[in-house]
Amino acid sequence: MAFPVHRPRRLRRTPALRRLAAETRLSPDAFVLPLFVVEAEDVREPIASLPGHFRYSPDRVVEAAREAAALGLPAVLLFGVPARKDAAGSGAYAEDGVVQQAVRRLKDALPDLVVITDVCLCEYTDHGHCGLLAERRGRLTVDNDPTLELLARTAVSHARAGADIVAPSDMMDGRVGAIRRALDAEGFTDVAILSYAAKYASAFYGPFREAAESAPAFGDRRGYQMDPANAREALREMRLDLEEGADMLMVKPAGPYLDVLRAAREAFDVPLAAYQVSGEYAMIHAAAERGWLDREAAMWESLTGIARAGADILITYFALEAARRLQSGGRGPAGAGAPGARAAAPGVSPAGGAEGERDAP
Ligand code: PBG
C-alpha cells in the first residue's frame, strides 16, 4: 500500500518532528579538535589556509584545549611544527620535542582531556616525506623497515610525555605492530593506538601542509599512501592494522570516502574515526566567503553525512564551532537551512532557516 496512505512528508513537517525522526545525531562527544603546536614561546598565530585556526606554542596550546574541554569535546589531536628539520626527522622523537612539551602541559592543566598525538615524520624531515629516504632500484623511496623504529620511538616519547592515544599517520607497513611492541616493552600497555589505517594520497591535505609546513620537497606520497581508486584495499589495510594491535581505525579524508567508512563500519567492531581534512574544511569556507553556500548548513550536512556513513568519531576543524552551536541550542543540524535554501524563490521561506522553529513550506 502506497500513497495516499504513506506520506513520508508527515515526519518532516516541523523542526521538532524532524529532530525526533533523525537517524543520525551529532554530539560534542564525537568531536576531536586538531591542534598545531609550533616550537616557540607565547605564540598564537593564525593559519591563513585554515580560517579560525592557529598555531600555538606549547605554553599557549592549553588555552585552545581548555575551550575544547569546556565545550564538551573528549579529545584533541596534536600536530607538531618543529623549529629545525633534518633527514631523519629527529624532532619527532626528541624527548623535549614540541609535541612532547605540549602533551606535558596539556596533561598537567587538563588531566581528563584525552590527548591524541599524530605519529609521523613528515613535519620533522627536511625532505617532507613520512619516513627515511633510501635509493632502491635507482629511485629514491621512503624506506619502510628502518622507518618503523623511528615511528616506534616517536610513539614511546609521546606516551612518556603522557599521551593517551597515539595515531600513526605515516602509512608504513607494519608500523602499528612496531609501535604496539615498543609501547608494551616500555610499560605503556594502556596507551591506545588509533591507526590512520585507510589514509589516501589526497589533494585535500593542501591547507594542512601549509599549516604544518610538511609538503614533500619532491615527488608525492603515492608510494605509501593509498590510491583513491581502492576500497577493498582499505579493508585489507584495516584488517592488518587490527591484527597488529590497533584499538581504533580511521578513514581519511572523510567526505570523498564515505563508501569506505560504511564498509569499515560493517566489517569491524572497533571505534571508527573519520578525519574531515583541511581541504574539506577550506572548501566550505572558501565557497561560503564567495556567498556560494551557507557555511553553517554545509558544516552540519558534511558532518552528518560522515556520521551517517558510520563514523563514531569525527576529527574536524569544525569541532569547536559545531560543539558551541550544539551547546547553545542554536539551529543545529535539524534546523539548518537546506542546500540552496538561500536561493529559494522570493517569498518562499527556507526550510528550517535561522528562526529554527518555523514550519517548513
Ligand atoms: C601527515 C598528516 C597529514 C595530515 C594529517 N597527518 C598530511 C599528509 O599526509 O600529507 C592531513 C590532515 C589534514 O589535511 O587536515 N602526518
Give the closest residue (by CA) to ligand 1 atom 1: 169
Give the closest residue (by CA) to ligand 1 atom 14: 205
* pTM score of the predicted model: 0.93
pLDDT of residue 359: 53
Distance 270 CA to ligand 1 centre (A): 22
CB 154 less than 6 A from any atom of ligand 1:
no
Cell, residue 9? 512528508
Distance 162 CA to ligand 1 centre (A): 22
pLDDT of residue 315: 99
Among 277, 281, 283, 284, which is best to mutate for testing ligand 1, by the most ligand atoms less than 8 A from CB? Answer: 277
Question: Which tens digits make up the pLDDT trace of 307-360?
Answer: 999 999 999 999 999 999 999 876 677 765 444 444 333 433 334 444 444 555
Query: What number of residues does the chain have?
Result: 361
Q: Establish whether 199 is a catalytic residue.
A: yes
Give residue 173's identity as a one-letter amino acid code.
D
Contact predicate 49/55, CB 8 Å: no
Burial class (CB in 10 A: 0-12, 13-18, 19+), 261: buried
SS3 54: strand
Q: Which atom of ligand 1 lies closest to the CA of 123?
A: 16
Cell, residue 213? 609546513
Give the pairing of strands 75-81 and 44-46.
Answer: unpaired
Q: Exactly one of 127, 129, 252, 331 is catalytic; which is it? A: 252
Contact predicate 148/174, CB 8 Å: yes
CB 277 less than 6 A from any atom of ligand 1:
yes
Percent of the chain exceeding pLDDT 70 equals 92
Long-range CB contacts for residues 345-352, cutoff 8 Å, separation at least 24? 352/15
Helices (H), the chain: 15-21, 61-70, 98-109, 144-161, 175-185, 206-212, 232-244, 258-267, 278-289, 295-309, 319-327, 332-335
Q: Residue 250, Cβ neighbours under 10 Å: how many?
A: 27
Q: Establish whether 107 is a catalytic residue.
A: no
Distance 47 CA to ligand 1 centre (A): 15
Distance 188 CA to ligand 1 centre (A): 26
Q: What residues does 351 pair with on adjacent strands? A: none
Question: Which tens digits make up the pLDDT trace of 202-228?
Answer: 999 999 998 888 999 999 999 999 999
Contact predicate 24/309, CB 8 Å: no
Give the closest residue (by CA) to ligand 1 atom 5: 169
Contact predicate 35/65, CB 8 Å: yes
SS3 316: strand
**Max alpha carbon distance in the chain (Å)?**
71
CB 169 less than 6 A from any atom of ligand 1:
yes
Q: Which residues contact 163 (CB under 8 A, 6 or more apart)?
A: 103, 115, 116, 117, 191
Distance 98 CA to ligand 1 centre (A): 17
Q: Residue 16, Cβ neighbours under 10 Å: how many?
A: 13
Q: Which helix (H) or strand (E) holds 121?
A: none
Q: Which atom of ligand 1 lies closest to the CA of 215?
A: 10
Stretches in the chain below the pLDDT threshold 70: 330-331, 335-361
Helix, strand, coil % (nearest 5) of the chain? 40, 20, 40
CB 132 less than 6 A from any atom of ligand 1:
no
CB 118 less than 6 A from any atom of ligand 1:
yes
d(CA 176, CA 159): 15
Q: Exactly one of 55, 199, 285, 331 is catalytic; which is it? A: 199
pLDDT of residue 1: 78
Report all structural domains of the chain as residue ranges with CATH numbers, in order of start: 25-327 (3.20.20.70)
d(CA 360, CA 14): 6
Give the closest residue (by CA) to ligand 1 atom 7: 205
Cell, residue 238? 584495516
pLDDT of residue 183: 98
d(CA 180, CA 42): 35
CB 208 less than 6 A from any atom of ligand 1:
yes
The DSSP symbol for 291 reads: T
Q: Which atom of ligand 1 lies closest to the CA of 205?
A: 14
Cell, residue 71? 565545550
